[in-house]
Chain A
Amino acid sequence: MSVAMIFLSLGAPFVAALEIIIYAGAIIVLFIFVVMMLNLGHDTALQEKEWLRPKVWVVPSVLVLVLLAEMVVLLLQGDKEALPVSVVDPRKVALSLYGEYVIAVELAGFLLMAGIVGAAHIGKHTRKELHRFLQNGESQEILKTPPQQPAEEEPEQTVLHD
């Protein structure tokens, strides 16, 4: 968010909007979703309780209060002279993006496509195979094991999966 505000004050409103949309809309939501799916257990909650002792959070909160007071003072008595903003407008960005950077745009498209496919693949398939690797404990055997073996060990895997 604050990086987006810096972009806005630098005269890049389009990039500021994109930053907010992508980070708040996509990446943070992904992180929260994953943290929710992981459902970390009891010991993690204990660890966080250990972190939240008063001795730990008193100093950061004092610092935050100092920063807040500073911001309020600056907002109240500051000179109203704005920073010299020189806007690079989105039109130039778009013309440059689709003019001289077309190849890079297509490469970014490839990258996103590979990201989607890779995320789907990692999220779905490797569970069956890699799990067996780790149960055997050795990586050398896996190269030699015939593909019939996963059928025998699947009941154990479902036990381990919650």
Chain B
Amino acid sequence: MIDNAHIVLIVAAVLFALGLIGVLTRKNVIFMLISVEIMLNAAGLAFVAAGSKWQQPDGQVMFLFILAMAAAEVSIGLAMVLQIHHQHKTLDVEKLKELRD
């Protein structure tokens, strides 16, 4: 019998896979950022599930740090999206090849 934490871990794995597929297949920078957020959420979900399984608060502490990092990351990422749109007039990652060798 699989218990509660296993179900939540499976959900986290599915969420992470969805986010990874989103990052790999999307062409729009904003959707890629949203997919990265989904992946961070999945990691935090796994942390909280593990912390709840062993009755330790460490999982939630780690989730707080992930949340702080996600907030910083999304602010930086959206500022970069604004800059990219100002400079290139596009959000398509296929066309953003200026840094390529």
Contacts and interface: CB of A to CB of B under 8 A. Distances in A.
A112 B48 contact: no
Given A10-B4, A12-B48, A3 B71 contact: no
Contacts of B57: 88, 92-93, 95-97
A22 interface: yes
B52 A112 contact: no
| Chain B contact residues: helix, strand, loop or mixed | helix
Contacts of A86: 52, 55
Interface string B52-71: 10011111110111011111
Interface of B: 4, 8, 11, 15, 30, 33-34, 37, 41, 44-45, 48-49, 51-52, 55-61, 63-65, 67-76, 78-83, 85-88, 91, 98
B69 A108 contact: yes
24 contacts: A3-B45, A6-B8, A10-B48, A12-B51, A15-B60, A18-B67, A22-B70, A27-B70, A31-B30, A31-B74, A88-B52, A93-B60, A96-B57, A97-B57, A104-B61, A108-B69, A111-B68, A112-B68, A119-B78, A119-B79, A122-B83, A126-B83, A130-B83, A131-B87
A12 B75 contact: no
Contact of A88 (B56, B76, B85, B98): B56
Closest 5 CB pairs of A and B: A115-B72, A122-B79, A93-B57, A92-B57, A96-B57
A122 B76 contact: yes
A137 B15 CA distance: 40
Contacts, number: 125
Nearest to A35: B30
Interface in A31-85: 31, 34-35, 37-38, 40, 83-84
B70 to A, nearest CB: 7
Interface of A: 3, 6-7, 10-12, 14-15, 18-19, 22, 26-27, 30-31, 34-35, 37-38, 40, 83-84, 86, 88, 92-93, 95-97, 101, 104, 108, 111-112, 114-116, 118-120, 122-123, 126-127, 130-131, 134, 161
A84 B16 CA distance: 26
Contacts of B88: 134
A96 B65 CA distance: 13
A108 B69 CA distance: 7
Given A26-B71, A30-B74, A122-B76, 12 more contacts: A10-B49, A11-B52, A27-B74, A30-B75, A35-B30, A92-B57, A93-B60, A108-B64, A111-B68, A118-B76, A119-B79, A130-B83
